[in-house]
Chains A and B, each alone.
Chain A
């Protein structure tokens, strides 16, 4: 299911020593749809949040807030190495 070698679970293999890594945290309900609440992803130029979501088969519309290093961004923003991405589920109505 998660075949792309760029995506490696934080709690399994750590073979990226010395390489730039993106930390991705899935918040709250989004954790139901991914194998771990936090994953490490190998960085490469042009990597976007959308690419990460596609890897985990999460529709972009399910994400209500993208924080990259604590700053709100869109799913299409190009990530920088060593960034931390936090993804929150969409919410509206109560």
Chain B
């Protein structure tokens, strides 16, 4: 069946635990992941929810397929109102925790209230216990994982947890499982911190039984047999996401000096694999693309337990801060992982402060004496420490760039690179407009996996066009196009990505970014669930979750005006092949956003039309 039929509900204020049973019709409508998460958030959130208050429900939900022996389906989502954006917070992670929760007998956990003292949840094969975590509070992630496993005497326990940055409610604190897999964005670690919830430890021994386990085995074998031959899958395995640095730099879109330049002269150094060890993977994944770095040179030591800097981190803390010293970036990454800080928002908030410093908007009197110049690698590690502890200038930066701009003054606003308060990831819409649409339309602020990426659709030979022809995307679209073809590509693939999310699929295992095609995934869904289903139903499940997310944001006071890009993206890059040219026109871009609304059945105000809600079986949202 691929689901347990049980949702675990925990009220931390009253220390009550309840198990809610659900039938097939519930899963057929909401599947898993953000589908289930939104069902509970919409039912249990008020309209003026304080993200760090006890009334903000926090949901952990693996995908429908998560836990099955299906290749590259390890993911689970964490959702709540985001303290960073004051909009829907949602962030996915791979690793091992999601499959373990399914094996422990639950399809999701809904946490309400707040504990009066630090606690952690211990879930084992259907049994649930709220345990004291006073002795773990203040500890880094490695110590906490070791402590819990030792205390419960089982090394196979999977731990999703926060470090000191989450406890201190840094607004972009994240959640980690297995020390190197992150629900990275939207500050959901701060929500855990506000609830005094240090960790959720899980051990399970029986995944829901698949309807046709033999067929799943065949699909798994196919993926194992083909990974090394597939052009994209094998590149991910051998080089991971850092393999993209040189390409993006040569394209002129590598965020450099707070998105001013687009080209980093020393990108070669950031792209170096000299400290990389054999990569690690996630549950039941043949791709195995997670970077592992170890450094034992001089004063800088980086522990392999905490993974290694991925593309986003290399750019956010590296080139975007003018830093090309890989050892410093790798160490900053390790510290962020010990403390649970989102490396994208951290790097972007520092780069914003650097730009303001260089422009004379702030000075050393504001920065605790730190010379915040681009390229000054001496400030990076001290700033990570200050931000995690919320000390001095670090306290201001712990609130993200938009709140820092309110303190720096209006002159600083033109250097902001955020949407809905969340800092942009490391993809510049000025060289690929579809990323701009993703950033603007995403319910949870600038997000680079709202849809598929433009380069795969740029030519008729592109893997996007080849693989997504099954969804009706049969023509290539220029990376800088903002016309109907681009909007359609983003619309269709946003539905696909949302479907991937309700299933628990990792983008790095499946088309267009990797090897497993849509027909094999559909076969896996049928084999796991026993449902008579097709991509039509799965795309509709993705569309339903997107509509629910829009409704959640509408209730929290967001509107069409929030679906906008920062003004910096309408200015030109200062360097590289696109240097000095305006490539994204505001008027055309806004017309593209409006066209997406029309295609999606959304209102001009950014909500969802009544007829679309009816079509998706969501009329209950209006009652």
Q: Cβ of B461 < 8 Å from any Cβ of A?
A: yes
Given the interface contacts A29-B239, A89-B235, A89-B243, does A94 sit within 8 Å of B448 by beta carbon?
yes
Given the interface contacts A28-B239, A29-B238, A89-B243, does A61 sit within 8 Å of B312 by beta carbon?
no
0/1 per residue, B215-253, Cβ < 8 Å to A? 000000000000000011011001101011011101100
Q: Cβ of A75 < 8 Å from any Cβ of B?
A: yes
Q: Cβ of B488 < 8 Å from any Cβ of A?
A: no
Q: Is the CB–CB distance between B251 and A65 below 8 Å?
A: yes
Given the interface contacts A93-B448, A93-B508, A94-B448, does A61 sit within 8 Å of B459 by beta carbon?
yes
Q: Is the CB–CB distance between B455 and A91 below 8 Å?
A: yes
Q: Is the CB–CB distance between A65 and B247 below 8 Å?
A: yes
Q: Cβ of A45 < 8 Å from any Cβ of B?
A: no
A74 to B479, CA, bound (A): 13
Q: Cβ of A88 < 8 Å from any Cβ of B?
A: yes
Interface footprint category on A: 20 to 34
Q: Is the CB–CB distance between A91 and B243 below 8 Å?
A: yes
0/1 per residue, A30-49, Cβ < 8 Å to B? 00110000000000000000
A65 to B427, CA, bound (A): 16
Q: Is the CB–CB distance between A90 and B243 below 8 Å?
A: no
A64 to B315, CA, bound (A): 19
Q: Cβ of A62 < 8 Å from any Cβ of B?
A: yes
List of B residues within 8 angstroms of A89 by Cβ: 235, 243-244, 247
List of A residues within 8 angstroms of B577 by Cβ: 72
Given the interface contacts A59-B461, A62-B232, does A90 sit within 8 Å of B455 by beta carbon?
yes
List of A residues within 8 angstroms of B234 by Cβ: 32
List of A residues within 8 angstroms of B449 by Cβ: 93
- Residue in contact with A65 in the complex, picked from B250, B310, B312, B315, CB distance below 8 Å: B250
CB proximity of B460 to chain A, nearest CB, Å = 9
List of B residues within 8 angstroms of A64 by Cβ: 247, 251, 455
List of A residues within 8 angstroms of B231 by Cβ: 33, 58-59, 61-62
- Residue in contact with B250 in the complex, picked from A32, A61, A62, A67, CB distance below 8 Å: A67
Q: Cβ of B133 < 8 Å from any Cβ of A?
A: no
Q: Is the CB–CB distance between B425 and A94 below 8 Å?
A: yes
B interface secondary structure, majority: helix
Q: Cβ of B120 < 8 Å from any Cβ of A?
A: no
A33 to B231, CA, bound (A): 9
Q: Cβ of A8 < 8 Å from any Cβ of B?
A: no
A93 to B92, CA, bound (A): 14
A4 to B567, CA, bound (A): 52
A88 to B312, CA, bound (A): 19
Q: Is the CB–CB distance between A32 and B271 below 8 Å?
A: no
A93 to B452, CA, bound (A): 8
Q: Which residue in chain A gives the minimum CB-CB distance to B514?
A: A93
List of A residues within 8 angstroms of B244 by Cβ: 89, 91-92, 94
List of B residues within 8 angstroms of A58 by Cβ: 231
Q: Cβ of A52 < 8 Å from any Cβ of B?
A: no
48-94 of chain A: CB within 8 A of chain B: 58-62, 64-65, 67, 72, 74-75, 86, 88-94
- Residue in contact with B238 in the complex, picked from A32, A75, A86, A88, CB distance below 8 Å: A32
Q: Is the CB–CB distance between B459 and A88 below 8 Å?
A: no
Q: Is the CB–CB distance between A27 and B463 below 8 Å?
A: no
Given the interface contacts A32-B238, A61-B231, A65-B251, does A94 sit within 8 Å of B312 by beta carbon?
yes
288-317 of chain B: CB within 8 A of chain A: 310-312, 315
CB proximity of B237 to chain A, nearest CB, Å = 10
Given the interface contacts A29-B239, A62-B231, does A90 sit within 8 Å of B246 by beta carbon?
no
A90 to B243, CA, bound (A): 9
A28 to B240, CA, bound (A): 12
Given the interface contacts A28-B239, A64-B455, does A91 sit within 8 Å of B461 by beta carbon?
no
CB proximity of B585 to chain A, nearest CB, Å = 21
Q: Cβ of B97 < 8 Å from any Cβ of A?
A: no
CB proximity of A31 to chain B, nearest CB, Å = 10
Given the interface contacts A28-B246, A28-B271, does A94 sit within 8 Å of B461 by beta carbon?
no
Q: Which residue in chain B gives the minimum CB-CB distance to A62?
A: B231
CB proximity of A89 to chain B, nearest CB, Å = 6
A12 to B328, CA, bound (A): 40
- Residue in contact with A28 in the complex, picked from B247, B311, B466, CB distance below 8 Å: B247
Q: Cβ of B462 < 8 Å from any Cβ of A?
A: yes
Given the interface contacts A90-B232, A91-B455, does A61 sit within 8 Å of B466 by beta carbon?
yes
A59 to B466, CA, bound (A): 12
List of A residues within 8 angstroms of B235 by Cβ: 29, 32, 62, 89
List of A residues within 8 angstroms of B463 by Cβ: 61, 90
Q: Cβ of B454 < 8 Å from any Cβ of A?
A: yes
A74 to B577, CA, bound (A): 15
CB proximity of B486 to chain A, nearest CB, Å = 14
List of B residues within 8 angstroms of A60 by Cβ: 459, 461
List of B residues within 8 angstroms of A72 by Cβ: 251, 577
Q: Which residue in chain B gives the minimum CB-CB distance to A30?
A: B235
A71 to B382, CA, bound (A): 41
Q: Is the CB–CB distance between A92 and B243 below 8 Å?
A: no
Q: Cβ of B361 < 8 Å from any Cβ of A?
A: no
438-495 of chain B: CB within 8 A of chain A: 448-449, 452-456, 459, 461-463, 466
Contacts A28-B239, A29-B243, A94-B312 known; list 10 others, CB within 8 Å: A58-B231, A61-B231, A64-B251, A88-B247, A89-B244, A90-B463, A91-B248, A92-B452, A92-B454, A93-B449
CB-CB nearest 3 A-B residue pairs: A92-B453, A91-B244, A60-B461
Contacts A/B (CB < 8 Å), 26 sampled: A28-B246, A33-B231, A59-B461, A60-B459, A61-B231, A61-B456, A62-B231, A62-B232, A62-B235, A64-B251, A65-B251, A72-B251, A72-B577, A75-B461, A88-B251, A89-B247, A90-B247, A91-B243, A91-B244, A91-B247, A92-B452, A92-B456, A93-B449, A94-B315, A94-B427, A94-B448
User: B-side interface residues toward A, CB under 8 Å?
Assistant: 231-232, 234-235, 238-239, 241, 243-244, 246-248, 250-251, 271, 310-312, 315, 425-427, 448-449, 452-456, 459, 461-463, 466, 507-508, 513, 577
